[in-house]
Amino acid sequence: MALLELKNLTKRFGDVLAVSDFTLSVEQGEFVSLLGPSGCGKTTTLQMIAGFETPTSGAIILNGRNLEDVPARKRGLGIVFQSYALFPHMTVEQNVGFGLEMRGVAPAERAGRVRKVLELVHLDGLANRYPRAMSGGQRQRVAVARALVIEPDLLLLDEPLSNLDAKLREEMQLELRRIQQEAGVTTVLVTHDQSEAMALSDRIAVMQAGELMQVGSPFEIYERPRSSFVSTFLGKTNTLAARLEQVTPEGSLLVCNGVTLKGPPANFLPGPVEVSLRPERVELTDADNAVVSGTVSERVFLGNQWLSKVNTPIGELLMTRRNRGSDEPKPGDTVHLAWSAEHLSILAADRSRLT
Amino acid sequence: MRRNGLAALLFSTLFVVFMIAPLVVVIGVSFTSTGYLEFPPSEPGLRWFRAILTNPDFIDAALLSLELGVTSATIATVLAVPAALAIGREKFPGRDVLQSLFLSPLMVPTVVLGVGFLRFLTLISMNGTLIGLALCHAVVIFPFILRLSLAAIVGLDQSVEKAAVSLGASSLTVFRRITLPLIMPGVCGGWILAFITSFDELTVSIFIINPSTTTLPVKLFNHITQTTDPLVTSVSTAMILFTVCIMLFVNWLYGLDRLLIGEGSR
């Protein structure tokens, strides 16, 4: 049985449908991210799990118990807020010990547990500091420690890394993953940052306009997006409008701007579709093996890779190539491009045609 | 960096002079040794400061004003903090009306308030009592505490309270352990400002005091209507000194500009 089950969760604010019929199960020990642009309902979903918002309909079931009549303070969840929400007038030790104090844990045991969790987040020795005397990354760790010390069934992270600078954020991603795995706590993360979701999660639930678009492992979602929204929200991609002509168990044939392309087997009926092609799957080849040929229009050097734009008969294609220290085609050069058929993802032009 | 033009500088200078000049004159006159008001004093001395000590009336009035200020500021604080919490946090119909009502003593002329209080206190037979006086002062100074408490509450990150709730704290515990300590500087600032306002409140008090509850400002006013000796200036100087000390303390505690301009404008 899943640890957390969200069943047909719906939240309406007046006329606005913030979350619509959201169903998701989270297994014990799993790290699941709710990923989506701002206003997609991911934070509202988290607030409902936490007990700060009441669902309009649907159920939240934790450990087999319906949380409907359980107030926020009795849910026993660990929450890390975007602003960290540390108590500014308390030391690190008092901040972290607060949840234990509320549970009536004796001071001696409290001190021991606080020390242990501060070791887990690598903050030992800073117990007597005040939050204002700490860096953003350190405050972040205090917030995580404060949520973990009560040994919650479920840890909720609300955009926990968005206030950190880019370099620190990458470090903290690895740290968060390590802490989560060492503590073995089931975690739900809310984020709009796809790289954060991919780096941390076992599974990602992509949301748009209050609806769940797709759930799966980061690899699955990146490789097999089921809609153009998911394919463009996770990483860069080329989205092409095409017509599906023929479907066989071995593969499919697509026509895009008069060019015939081979595609993977598809679950669609022939008709208009969208096709997604990741820029890193586009390769340079010679004229004989080319799927399309075109002219380089722009080229950007990104250090570890080159990003080029190529004008082709099927449209403008983005191409990324690893920097191997050799020269790359320059703007104006004619290039021949190829990719294997299975690297095209065929997407429903609209959701109703999903099978 | 000078961004102000000559005219603006001149205006500001005149404005400050206009504000400060009366204080300078009062303080100057208080150091005279003559029996009449004289500025600048030809023979400086502390004669009129010694005279305060030989006038127990003034000392009694000062003590009464002190007691009144503490009582009324405390009453108003106890009432204003919950009101500020409701107005700053909750959304309910009539919230804006309620806020305007609570701030209205700032806008109603104090003479009108004084007449109203007089009628009301007479009606409930509390005219001339210290507690009646304290309640009336509490109404007058309520807006100061409400505004400062409100600024502190609105400036408080609500997720801090949510965090405490998620860790198992009841509403009362959240208020006692989190909210109140965090808004304390604002509340204290409001209390002190309210205390000062009550301490030198004259207009309302004139209507509702009796000889046994004469406050210091009323005593000074009565004195100056009968005689014009420099005693009033030495008492005034002592009051100015007292107020300045409190203001310095508040500035150290909380920052005066934040207090008077409000949190949001920083």
The per-residue pLDDT for B266 is 32
Distance from the Cα of A18 to chain B's closest Cα (Å) equals: 20
Mean pLDDT (chain B) is 88
Q: What's the 3-state SS for A207-221?
A: EECCEEEEEECHHHH
CA distance B93 to B246: 39
Cβ <8 Å between A77 and B166 = yes
* Residues 6+ away with beta carbon under 8 Å from A313: A257, A258, A259, A292, A294
The per-residue pLDDT for B66 is 93
Neighboring chain B residues of A147 at a CB cutoff of 8 Å? 166
Neighboring chain A residues of B163 at a CB cutoff of 8 Å? 79, 81, 85-87, 146
Cβ <8 Å between A85 and B159 = yes
Reported ipTM: the value is: 0.81
Q: Which amino acid is at A290?
A: A
Neighboring chain B residues of A13 at a CB cutoff of 8 Å? none
**Please, how many CA atoms are within 13 Å of residue B198, restricted to the half-sphere of its CB?**
33
CB A118 within 8 A of CB A92: yes
* Selected residue of B91, B167, B176 to mutate for chain A interface (largest A Cβ count, 10 A): B167
Cis omega (within 30 of 0) on the bond before B40? yes
Question: In chain B, which residue's Cα lies nearest the Cα of A88?
Answer: B182
Cβ <8 Å between B157 and A102 = no
Distance from the Cα of B171 to chain A's closest Cα (Å) equals: 9
The verdict on domain A4-223 having CATH code 3.40.50.300 is yes
The per-residue pLDDT for B42 is 85
pLDDT in tens, B87-101: 998 888 989 999 999
Distance from the Cα of B172 to chain A's closest Cα (Å) equals: 12
CA distance A141 to A144: 5
CA distance A153 to B166: 13
What residues in chain A have their Cβ under 8 A from chain B's Cβ atoms? 50-52, 72-79, 81-83, 85-89, 98-99, 102-103, 146-147, 150
* Selected residue of A47, A52, A75, A102 to mutate for chain B interface (largest B Cβ count, 10 A): A102
CA distance A255 to A178: 47
Tell me where in chain A the CATH 2.40.50.140 domain(s) lie: 236-353
The per-residue pLDDT for A48 is 95
Separation in Å, CA A208 to CA A19, A87, A140: 9, 34, 28
Instruction: Please give the structure tokens belonging to residue B243.
Output: 């107020």
CB B142 within 8 A of CB B105: yes
Question: In chain A, which residue's Cα lies nearest the Cα of B165?
Answer: A73
Nearest to A83 among B157, B173, B177 (CB): B157
Q: What residues pair up with A308 in beta bridges, in sequence order?
A: A299, A319
Neighboring chain A residues of B175 at a CB cutoff of 8 Å? none
Tell me where in chain A the CATH 3.40.50.300 domain(s) lie: 4-223
Cβ <8 Å between B163 and A81 = yes
User: A86-97 burial, b if ≥16 CB within 10 A, otherwise e?
Assistant: bbebbbbbbbbb
For the purposes of burial, counting CB atoms within 10 Å of the CB of B212, is it exposed (0-12), middle (13-18) or buried (19 or more)?
Answer: exposed
CA distance B109 to A32: 62
CB B133 within 8 A of CB B146: no
CB A318 within 8 A of CB A308: yes
At B263, is the pLDDT very low, low, confident or very high (cuts 50, 70, 90)? very low
CB A147 within 8 A of CB A98: no
pLDDT in tens, chain A (355 residues): 789 999 999 999 988 999 999 999 999 999 999 999 988 999 999 999 999 999 999 999 999 999 999 999 999 999 999 999 999 999 999 999 999 999 999 999 999 999 999 999 889 889 999 999 999 889 999 999 999 999 999 999 999 888 888 888 888 888 889 989 988 999 999 999 998 899 899 999 999 999 999 999 999 999 888 888 898 888 888 988 888 888 888 888 888 888 888 888 887 788 888 888 999 999 888 888 888 899 999 999 988 899 999 999 998 899 999 988 888 888 989 999 999 888 888 887 654 444 3
CB B60 within 8 A of CB B51: no
Neighboring chain A residues of B164 at a CB cutoff of 8 Å? 87, 98
User: B115-125 burial, b if ≥16 CB within 10 A, otherwise e?
Assistant: ebbbeebeeee
CA distance B57 to B222: 12
Q: Which domains does chain B have, with CATH numbers?
A: 55-265 (1.10.3720.10)
The per-residue pLDDT for A107 is 94
CB A233 within 8 A of CB A193: no
Separation in Å, CA B14 to CA A103, B1, B17, B63: 63, 21, 5, 36
Kindly report the CATH class assigned to A236-353. mainly beta
What residues in chain B have their Cβ under 8 A from chain A's Cβ atoms? 157, 159-160, 162-170, 173, 177-178, 181-182
Cβ <8 Å between A85 and B181 = no
Cβ <8 Å between A87 and B160 = yes
Separation in Å, CA B154 to CA A132, B99, B169: 20, 14, 21
* Selected residue of B159, B160, B165, B166 to mutate for chain A interface (largest A Cβ count, 10 A): B166
* Residues 6+ away with beta carbon under 8 Å from B96: none
Nearest to A88 among B169, B177, B182 (CB): B182
* Selected residue of A52, A87, A96, A105 to mutate for chain B interface (largest B Cβ count, 10 A): A87
Nearest to A85 among B160, B170, B181 (CB): B160
Question: In chain A, which residue's Cα lies nearest the Cα of B173?
Answer: A102
The per-residue pLDDT for A108 is 93
Instruction: Please give the structure tokens belonging to residue B67.
Output: 């007691």
Closest listed residue to residue A84, CA positions, set A123, A125, A140, A137: A140
* Selected residue of A47, A77, A79, A130 to mutate for chain B interface (largest B Cβ count, 10 A): A79
Neighboring chain A residues of B177 at a CB cutoff of 8 Å? 98
SS3 at position B96: helix
pLDDT in tens, B9-36: 999 999 999 999 999 999 998 998 888 8
At B112, is the pLDDT very low, low, confident or very high (cuts 50, 70, 90)? very high
* Selected residue of A47, A81, A90 to mutate for chain B interface (largest B Cβ count, 10 A): A81
**Which is higher by pLDDT, B147 or A353?**
B147
The per-residue pLDDT for B256 is 61
Count of Cβ atoms closer than 10 Å to residue A261 Cβ:
21
CA distance B140 to A200: 58
The per-residue pLDDT for B189 is 85
Cβ <8 Å between B168 and A99 = yes
CA distance A179 to A160: 14
Distance from the Cα of B90 to chain A's closest Cα (Å) equals: 14
At B264, is the pLDDT very low, low, confident or very high (cuts 50, 70, 90)? very low
* Residues 6+ away with beta carbon under 8 Å from B26: B233, B236, B237, B240
- Report the DSSP pairing between strands A259-263 and A251-256: antiparallel
Neighboring chain A residues of B168 at a CB cutoff of 8 Å? 73-74, 76, 99, 102-103, 150
Question: In chain A, which residue's Cα lies nearest the Cα of B183?
Answer: A89
For the purposes of burial, counting CB atoms within 10 Å of the CB of A219, is it exposed (0-12), middle (13-18) or buried (19 or more)?
Answer: exposed
Nearest to A73 among B159, B169, B181 (CB): B169
For the purposes of burial, counting CB atoms within 10 Å of the CB of A158, is it exposed (0-12), middle (13-18) or buried (19 or more)?
Answer: buried
Q: What mean pLDDT do residues B245-258 have?
A: 75
**Please, how many CA atoms are within 13 Å of residue B169, restricted to the half-sphere of its CB?**
21
Distance from the Cα of B75 to chain A's closest Cα (Å) equals: 26
Place of tokens 């150091």: B31
CA distance A190 to A157: 6
Instruction: Please give the structure tokens belonging to residue A36.
Output: 């989506």
Place of tokens 């899943």: A2
Cβ <8 Å between B159 and A83 = yes
φ, ψ at A55 (rounded to 5°) = -65, 145
CA distance B179 to B172: 10
Name the DSSP class of B101. H
Q: Which amino acid is at A253?
A: L
* Residues 6+ away with beta carbon under 8 Å from A22: A6, A8, A9, A10, A41, A45, A58, A207, A210, A211, A212
